[in-house]
Amino acid sequence: MKMPKYQLFGIIIVSAVSVVSFQNCSQANFSQAPVNAASSTSDGSNTPDSATYDGLKANDITLATNVGVTLNISTASILAANSGSSLKVQSVGTPSLGTLTAKATSYDYVSSVTGTATMSYTIVDGQNNVASAKITIKVVDSSIATAPFYGCNTDGNLYSLDPQTGTVLKTVKMTYNGAKLECTDMVISSSGELYAKDNEESVGSNAYKVDATTGVATLYQRNLVTRGDRAVGLTLLADGKLITSEEHNPGTSSQTNSLIAIAADGVKTTVIPASAGYTMYGGDVKLLPDGYLYWTITNATSTLCKNAGAGGNQGILRIDPVSKATKEVACMDKKNIFGLGFASKALYGFSEQGNLVRVDVNTGKTTLVKATGLVFIGAAANPILW
């Protein structure tokens, strides 16, 4: 059975039929015997990659570990993956990524970055025949987002979903310093890091980097907007700048919204000024694969919604983040669509009633995917699966 793409992280491929999971711990141990990986040959055949000499056979071995976690590879496990009599490990080469430390009866491997490490190894049998093969180690970051779509709310729950069916895949609690993180929106970077913002208007909202597996958050950026203002919506530009809508004088008749970019050092620049006259009620702003920002604006400031007589519906404003040119492209046919995210070649959003809908950004037409019964104020799709 073909596994969904988002389920392939955090597993160790030892054979076509067996996997061994490594948990997030300070040291992982691989002392059991790996099985020859017939499904991972380099030439596409059904025979394991190997070197054979007079009954001695060395097979390629594939392992995996988390970044920063020491993987212990016992010599017994290497020998068990091979064929021959009175086998010994003669040598293990230098890995292409990370470091390898030889111990009495094993090797410790660790890498501070993600990627794929390869190294050769040589075994010798009782007749002094030698054979060589390679060890491949996939280094992954278990904290990254691996599901296609996520939703959050001020209840502190982080939900991962299949947007095509609306099925909730997993729920974890989001916490910061042990306390509930009241999430109001989120975004996922092109490398899978999940960022969320809180509901702290008194300090202008803060942004956090969240472990998508455990829900544990670390502070990433303080004061996204001016104290007392409200940050609505969250997305990332290709250069790593966060984008949010700053709601000035929130909840008053003089409320206005601007769209701002925030660099990692906290420097803010205006993308769309408040003087442009756009306002938001809930909604979101997201960068889509076409390179444009899509910002939901209120009926009161949407020309298309006004012309359609769609009271309370939201317009979709397309923005070039470089030239800052804007064009209103659609009026959504449903009211109060909150968190948005692009997945499976479509834009998805959540209504105030907990309905997951598919949104056509060119026409504004929404199609019900599922009435989830869950109200998500924030949502994000995973660009590593686009």
**Residues 152-188: tens digit of each pLDDT:** 989 999 999 998 899 999 999 999 999 999 999 999 9
In terms of pTM, does the model score above 0.85?
A: no
Q: What is the pLDDT of residue 310?
A: 63
Q: What is the distance in angstroms between the CA of the first residue and the CA of the last residue of the chain?
A: 22
pLDDT digits 0-9 by tens, 81-115: 888 889 999 999 999 999 999 999 999 999 999 89
Determine what percent of the chain falls in helix, strand and coil, rounding each to the nearest 5.
10, 45, 45
Q: What pLDDT is attached to residue 83? A: 83
Average pLDDT of span 19-35: 36
The total of other beta-carbon atoms located within 10 Å of residue 363's CB is 13
Residue 345 has pLDDT above 90, yes or no: no
- Mean pLDDT, the chain, as a whole number? 83
DSSP string for 164-209: TTTEEEEEEE-EETTEE----EEEE-TTS-EEEE---GGGT--EEE
Q: Note the residue count of the chain.
A: 386
**pLDDT digits over 301-334, tens only?**
999 988 776 666 889 999 999 999 999 999 998 8
Cα atoms in the 13 Å half-sphere on the side-chain side of 166? 18
Which of 15-24, 211-220, 238-247 is the least confident region? 15-24
pLDDT of residue 51: 54
Kindly tell me if the per-residue pLDDT of 339 is higher than 90: no
What are 38-97's pLDDT values in tens digits?
333 333 333 334 555 567 889 999 888 888 889 999 999 999 888 888 999 999 999 999
Cβ-contact 355, 309 below 8 angstroms:
no
